[in-house]
């Protein structure tokens, strides 16, 4: 591939869209992305700080006015979403860093206009109705939605790398789900886990995981100096964890927590093993599974990853400890929720879709 990729981002004013924009702006194989905002007739864009859309005093909204970290390197105008304009500009790939409902309605339109899509939301991740029901989608065209649901590829490169290059729609995985799936996949594939005894994934995330709009739960006063569990047995990521790992929701208990830090996830996963095993065998199982997968770092036991090790990177870090009885395993899995859990993984997927080196723009 020689010409640079022409891409667009909708949702660049949000946390994951902003990270995505920063990654794309310095990606050597991508033209300056077309940055999109809501269509003219919808609500005006609010700034991250809740101020007026633009400090420049005119109608043009510049992303650097919203995120001053971008200022000093030129203008990053936000254009209203228009399919004809995207077509005119030769945009082939659309990133959606938008709420689930918005992505659910826009993906069919984008595909109908001949575009490929990487969607960061949960709109297209789930194949099974029993899991998807939690989103309560009301599809305008049920037949098209069903077809796209079937075709969309769950964009976890370490598991589904062979399906990504030819995908039209990539459903970028959930942030928590990425840590739990990558933490468990080698063990389950090797048939070592005793699923009947139940697996527990206890996950903790920084507050940016909830997006830029503050709520009573994510308000500074609620979060600071605190740690709270939420979504117990009901969190949306349980469905994708179960589907990707071919588990039933009775076999895994997933409990997310809100940590008083801006970003980063740590998942502690508890597994009973079917039979007694040595730590060296577990380690070689993980190393073998992730051989050649450059964005998973397997730590040498007993060293465990910490949130800070993977911050601002596209790595998912894995480590484990085996109990003296050789049958109880604790896996620790960490990532930056906005990078490997969202924007970085989206760029990794784009690289694979267009035959670009998987790590381009990410290392």
Annotated active-site positions, please?
175
In sequence order, the 6+-apart residues with CB closer than 8 A to the CB of 74 are none
- Taking alpha carbons only, the member of 190, 183, 195, 141 closest to residue 158 is 183
Q: How far is the CB of 239 from ligand NAP (least distance, A)?
A: 14
For the chain, the distance separating the N- and C-terminal CA atoms, rounded to the nearest angstrom, is 20
C-alpha 65/C-alpha 71 separation (Å) is 7
Which 308-347 residues touch ligand NAP, going by CB under 6 A?
Answer: 337-338, 341-342
The SS3 of residue 194 is coil
Q: How far is the CB of 218 from ligand NAP (least distance, A)?
A: 11
Can you tell me which of 77, 161, 198, 211 binds ligand NAP, judged by CB under 6 A? 211
Number of residues binding to ligand NAP, judged by CB under 6 A: 31
The SS3 of residue 51 is coil
Question: Does 218 participate in binding ligand NAP (rule CB under 6 A)?
Answer: no
Q: Quote the tokens at residue 237.
A: 């990521």
Based on CB atoms, which residue is closest to ligand NAP, 177 or 192? 177
Residues in the chain: 363
Enclosing H/E stretch for 3:
none
Q: How far is the CB of 308 from ligand NAP (least distance, A)?
A: 17
Contact letters for ligand NAP, residues 263-292 (x by CB under 6 A): ------------------------------
The SS3 of residue 294 is coil
Can you tell me which of 5, 7, 9, 16 binds ligand NAP, judged by CB under 6 A? 16
Q: How far is the CB of 297 from ligand NAP (least distance, A)?
A: 20
C-alpha 3/C-alpha 15 separation (Å) is 29
Can you tell me which of 21, 121, 179, 314 binds ligand NAP, judged by CB under 6 A? 121
C-alpha 319/C-alpha 304 separation (Å) is 5
Using the 8-state DSSP alphabet, how is residue 318 labeled?
A: E
Question: Does 213 participate in binding ligand NAP (rule CB under 6 A)?
Answer: yes
C-alpha 347/C-alpha 184 separation (Å) is 23
- Taking alpha carbons only, the member of 219, 295, 266, 311 closest to residue 19 is 311
Question: Does 13 participate in binding ligand NAP (rule CB under 6 A)?
Answer: yes
The SS3 of residue 188 is helix
Question: Does 349 participate in binding ligand NAP (rule CB under 6 A)?
Answer: no
Based on CB atoms, which residue is closest to ligand NAP, 212 or 294? 212
Q: How far is the CB of 78 from ligand NAP (least distance, A)?
A: 9
C-alpha 46/C-alpha 34 separation (Å) is 19
Based on CB atoms, which residue is closest to ligand NAP, 5 or 339? 339
Find the residue with minimal CB distance to ligand NAP. 14
Can you tell me which of 21, 62, 179, 208 binds ligand NAP, judged by CB under 6 A? 208
The rounded radius of gyration (Å) of the Cα atoms in the chain is 20
Give the range of 35-43, 67-75, 214-222, 355-363 binding ligand NAP by CB under 6 A.
Answer: 35-43
In sequence order, the 6+-apart residues with CB closer than 8 A to the CB of 152 are 107, 119, 124, 125, 167, 169, 170, 171
Based on CB atoms, which residue is closest to ligand NAP, 5 or 78? 78
Question: Does 21 participate in binding ligand NAP (rule CB under 6 A)?
Answer: no
Binding site for ligand NAP (CB under 6 A): 10-11, 13-17, 37-38, 42, 45-46, 97-100, 102, 120-122, 174-175, 208-209, 211-213, 337-338, 341-342
């Amino acid at each position: 591939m020689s010409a640079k990729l022409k891409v667009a981002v909708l949702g660049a004013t949000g946390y994951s869209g902003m990270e995505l924009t920063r990654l794309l702006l310095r990606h050597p194989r991508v033209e300056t992305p077309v940055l999109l905002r809501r269509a003219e007739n919808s609500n005006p864009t609010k700034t991250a700080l809740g101020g007026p859309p633009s400090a420049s005093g005119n109608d043009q909204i510049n992303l650097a006015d919203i995120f001053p970290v971008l200022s000093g390197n030129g203008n990053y105008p936000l254009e209203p979403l228009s399919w004809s304009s995207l077509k005119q500009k030769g945009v082939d790939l659309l990133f959606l860093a938008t709420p689930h409902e918005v992505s659910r309605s826009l993906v069919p339109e984008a595909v109908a206009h001949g575009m490929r899509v990487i969607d960061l939301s949960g709109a297209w991740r789930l194949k099974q109705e029993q899991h998807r029901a939690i989103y309560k989608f009301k599809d305008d065209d049920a037949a098209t939605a069903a077809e796209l649901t079937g075709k969309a590829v769950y964009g976890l490169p370490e598991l589904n790398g062979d399906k990504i290059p030819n995908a039209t729609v990539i459903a970028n995985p959930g942030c928590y789900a990425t840590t739990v799936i990558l933490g468990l996949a080698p063990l389950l594939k090797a048939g070592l886990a005793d699923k009947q005894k139940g697996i527990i994934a206890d996950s903790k995330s920084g507050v940016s995981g909830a997006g830029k709009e503050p709520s009573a739960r994510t308000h500074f006063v609620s979060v600071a100096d605190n740690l709270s569990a939420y979504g117990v047995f009901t969190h949306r990521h349980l469905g994708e964890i179960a589907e990707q790992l071919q588990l039933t929701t009775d076999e895994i208990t997933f409990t997310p927590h809100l940590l008083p830090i801006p970003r980063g996830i740590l998942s502690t996963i508890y597994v009973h093993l079917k039979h007694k095993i040595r730590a060296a065998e577990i380690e070689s199982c993980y190393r073998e599974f992730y051989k050649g997968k450059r964005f998973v770092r397997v730590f040498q036991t007993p060293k465990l990853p910490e949130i800070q090790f993977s911050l601002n990177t596209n790595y998912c870090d894995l480590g484990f400890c085996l109990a003296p009885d050789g049958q109880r395993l604790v896996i620790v899995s960490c990532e930056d929720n906005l990078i490997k859990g969202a924007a970085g993984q989206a760029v990794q997927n784009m690289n694979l879709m267009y035959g670009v080196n998987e790590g381009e723009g990410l290392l």
